[in-house]
Structures are given as structure tokens and as C-alpha cells.
A and B are shown apart, each in its own frame.
Chain A
Amino acid sequence: MAIKTEPMFLNLGPVHPSTHGVFRMRALVDGEVITDIEPVFGYLHRGIEKLAEGKSYRQFLPLSDRLDYVSSMNNNMAYVMAVEKLAGIEVPQRAEYIRVIMAELQRIIAHLLAIGSFFNDMGTFFTPFFYMFIQKEKITDLFEMVCGQRLLYNYMRFGGVSHDLPPEFIPALTRFLDEMPAEIKKYERLLAENEIVLARSKNVGVLTREMAINASAAGPVLRASGVNWDIRKDDPYSIYDRLDFTVPTGTNGDCYDRYRVRVEELTQSLNIIRQAVDGLPKGKVLNPVPLRFRPSSGEVYSHIEGNKGELGFHVISDGSDKPYRIHVRAPSFINLTALRNMLIGWKLADAIIIFGSIDICLGEVDR
């Protein structure tokens, strides 16, 4: 005889250790099974898009760091590229290569954090996380060499980057590139075939190909569902059309595939950085651009492949020195659309893992 149960309302968050920030889920559970869920957010809403309207183009640059604060380099790059397109600013070749090196290093950081915290959610309390943090720290040291900052870099400028690479940078980067493949092998040996990992993430939280496209999912979430779509390949920007790399995709769209796609992207990012270092041309890194400038009125949408998906900036100018409107196509925010469909029917303990596998950053969700 079935036991009669009653639906119960359960609140998770906003300061729950597994929500990676201030995020709240109002869950309706029947026993352990989730029957409905409503994500609630906005706790970190700083009104960045509104603030942009009161600042000059240059003054907004440090704010872009604060969107997804674990991928500041990518945010910088997406924003400066949008304004450069709007104002017709040229970028020296050396700066393009440096930007790509930084963006891919940043992608490695973000993916290491995503994978590490994913396993944290699964219950491997901080052991894999700290293995990944060791490598993450080395990249942070590299960033500190070029711009003096360890989290919010504010490194890129309209027309290039703020500083050229210091002489000690390339040797340190080469050391990192040499040791990283062995580190990835170590993570794989620890985790990839681990029985608990497989049991808890294979076929859990499946996002079908159709649903992923319909819900505008992007980045590793979309690719894990079997869609081969990467802006770096499909709409190449900067120097990506000259680089050789592949786009890893999954087949099932489950939590395990999302984790696999990220691991494989680590190797691809290392490949890209190696090619960019080999091809790094000499020359200047910054074309002079006045502190305040007035792009002619018009609008532009420019996008890059951010760490969490398509990161786009829709910038509108009215001919003054301040942007009329800046809208950020925030991948973390839009990837949450499918969350409800992915969670319904799963147990509460799985919900934590499924949510973790999407990999969001609340700074970007709430803006």
C-alpha cells in the first residue's frame, strides 16, 4: 500500500552553502521528490546597467569586472570589443594575442572552480576543490604579474590592454602550461571513473537537446546537450579563426556530461594558449584613445564565448560621451531558465548537484 504523503514547502537559501552565492529556491516537495520549484534571486542586484548610463565608456570598464567576478578578463574583453566596434577603434595585433591568452587562462580558472564546487556539492568536501585551487592560484599569480590584481583585473582597454607582458611572464606561463596536463590527468584519475561520481551524476538532471535550444541555454550547458555551438568557432572574433582547437560536446545532457565538457575544455584552452604564445607578435599593446570620446549615435551587439556561455554586450550610443544604454546578455542568468524543468521529479539531494552543474555566478545573474 502506498504511503499517503503531503506536499511540503521547503526553502533553500538565500545563504545555502551549495547555492554559490545569494540564491534562493522555493521548493515544493512530496517526500524527498521535488514537484515544483521557483528560483528567487536579485539579492546581489546592484543596478549595473543603470549605473552605466551615468558613467563615461571608460568609467564603466571596472564595473564590467564585477559582473561574473570569476571571469573578469572575459567580461573586460566582451565590453571593450563592443565599444571598439561602436567607435571604430583599432587594436594592435600583439594586444589581440595577449587578450586571448588572458581570456583562456580565465576560462581555466572558471572551469576549475566550476568543477571543484560541483564535486563539493556532491559531498567530496573540499578535497578536489583544493587540488584545483592550487592551479587556480598559479594563474592568479600570472594575472598579478601583468596587472597587479588578483581578482578584478580591469586589464583591458579600448584599443588594447593596459600593460605589456613583463619579462618574467612568459617563462612562468610556460611552466604552468607544462605542468597542467599532468594535473588534469590527476583530476581524471581521482574523479572521472569514480563510482560515486558516476552514480550520482550519470543520467541525473538531463537537459535534452531540444529543451536546451528552446530555453536559450548557452556554453557548456548547451554543448553538453549535444549542440555544437561555440562563438569562438561559429562566429570567430579576435584571433580565434587562426587558432586550431576543437569544441567538446556531450551526448546525454546530464550532469556528468556538463562536467566532462568543462574538463575537456581545459585541455582545449591550454592548446589555444600554447598557439597564442608561439605566435605572439612584437609591437605595441595599446593604441591611444582619449579618456572621454564620443562614438557617433548607433547601436552594436557584440558577443564572445564567455566561460558560462554567450556573453554579449548591447551598447547604444546617442552621440554623447556616456552610453545611452548598456544591456548585458548574461549567460548565467539565461542558463537558469531551464532550471525548473531540470529539477522537477528529482530528489532534493540531486537538486543540489543539478544546480551546481549549471555553474552560475550570482554577480552576473543579478547584475
Chain B
Amino acid sequence: MTVELEYNRIVEALPQDLASCVIAVENHGLVIQPERIADIAAFLKVEPGMELDYLCSVTGIDYIRYFEIDYLLYSLKLNHRLTLKVRLTDRSEPTVPSLTGLWLGAELQEREIFDLLGINFSGHPGMKRIFLWEGFPGHPLRKDYSHGH
């Protein structure tokens, strides 16, 4: 059974400077300061006892007040998992550091979010649309996108 890591245990394990960038502990994950997400993920990837070495899924959601990105991480060795979340309030140019430096697996998933939600991942090697064509107006998964029906 894949167990959900206890959030409080993680917050205690984080070094001082990283613990300060955990904004909130919620039912479904840890909310992290967007600009520090890559640092936290890099720590959790190698820290003994965490070893979250597998980036399973990246989801982008438009909650209107903010964009949220959920990163679901697994440890294949220890069989546990954890969700990290970042929230971006800027609607005109939302930007978050890319995790492609840590996991190649983020590459296509971040491009998907860029394409459909218009969120920029800084440091991504090829940030361009993936499903829709260049010049497509808007980002369909935004809630204010009008699809003309």
C-alpha cells in the first residue's frame, strides 16, 4: 500500500531555510512558496527517509483567484507519496521554476500546462506549446477562456 507521508513529519525534517517556505499544510498536500519549489523538491528527492525519486504527475488548475500546480511525488523504494502545491496569483504572467533539472519526467507535463493554462516554467529547455499550434489564441483550460459555444 502506498502510504501518504505525514506532512508534519516532513516540515520537521526540513532545514530551517526550507521550512520557512512551506506556506500551509492542507488535507491534500503541502503548499510551497512558488519560487522555492525546486529547492524543496531537490531536498526531498535525496533526503534519507523521504527519497521521493519519482515525479508521478503534474496537474495545473485554474481556481480563478489563483493558479495551482500539484506535483505528485512517489518514493519507489519506500513506497510512499507526497503532494506539493504551488499557488500563483499573477494572472498575466504566472511563472514558476521548472523541475526539469531534477526530473526529465517534468518536461512534457510542464509544456502541457504551459499550453493549456499559460503558466511559464522558468528554466525549462523548450517552453512551447505541445498540443495546440503556435498562434492559437488563449489557453483553453483557463476558466475565463471562451470556446464560442
Contacts and interface: CB of A to CB of B under 8 A. Distances in A.
A169 to B, nearest CB: 32
A90 B120 CA distance: 41
A215 B2 contact: no
A350 B112 CA distance: 28
Report whether over half of chain A's contact residues are helix, strand or loop; otherwise say mixed: mixed
Contacts of B53: 213
B131 to A, nearest CB: 4
A11 to B, nearest CB: 16
Interface stretch (A21-29, A160-168, A254-262, A328-336): A328-336
B108 A333 contact: yes
A312 B57 contact: yes
Interface in A205-258: 211, 213-217, 227, 229, 234-236
Interface in B47-83: 53-57, 59-62, 70, 72, 76, 79, 83
B99 to A, nearest CB: 11
Contact of B105 (A215, A236, A327): A215
Contacts of B104: 211, 214-216, 337-338, 341
Given A314-B57, A329-B57, A42 B76 contact: no
B33 interface: no
A312 B76 contact: no
Given A234-B2, A316-B61, A41 B105 contact: no
A289 B61 CA distance: 28
Interface stretch (A45-53, A135-143, A172-180): A45-53
B66 to A, nearest CB: 14
A301 B141 contact: no
A104 interface: no
B9 interface: no
A41 B109 contact: no
A366 B108 CA distance: 12
Contact of A216 (B2, B55, B129): B55
Name the residue in A216, A301, A310, A324 with the highest tally of chain B Cβ atoms < 10 Å from its Cβ: A216
A329 B132 contact: no
B105 A337 contact: yes
Contact of A50 (B55, B106, B147): B147
A179 B133 CA distance: 48
A301 B74 CA distance: 13
A45 to B, nearest CB: 4
B53 to A, nearest CB: 6
B110 to A, nearest CB: 11
Contacts of B57: 301, 312, 314, 327, 329, 334
A68 interface: no
Given A49-B141, A301-B57, A229 B109 contact: no
B56 A236 contact: no
A299 interface: yes
Nearest to A46: B131
A50 B141 contact: yes
Name the residue in B62, B107, B129, B132 with the highest tally of chain A Cβ atoms < 10 Å from its Cβ: B107
A227 B76 contact: yes
Interface string B1-20: 11000000000000000000
Interface in B15-58: 27-28, 53-57
A333 B106 CA distance: 12
B61 A216 contact: no
A58 interface: no
A202 interface: no
A42 B132 contact: yes
A325 interface: yes
B140 interface: yes
Interface string A30-64: 00000000000110010101100000000000000
Given A41-B130, A42-B131, A329 B105 contact: no
B76 A236 contact: no
B8 to A, nearest CB: 20
B141 to A, nearest CB: 6
B1 A235 contact: yes
Contacts of A316: 61
Contacts of B54: 213, 216
Interface string A89-124: 000000000000000000000000000000000000
Nearest to B129: A42
When A and B form their complex, which 7 residue pairs have the shortest distance between CB atoms, in order from nearest?
Answer: A216-B105, A42-B131, A235-B2, A45-B131, A329-B57, A327-B59, A215-B104
5 contacts: A42-B130, A216-B104, A234-B1, A325-B61, A334-B109
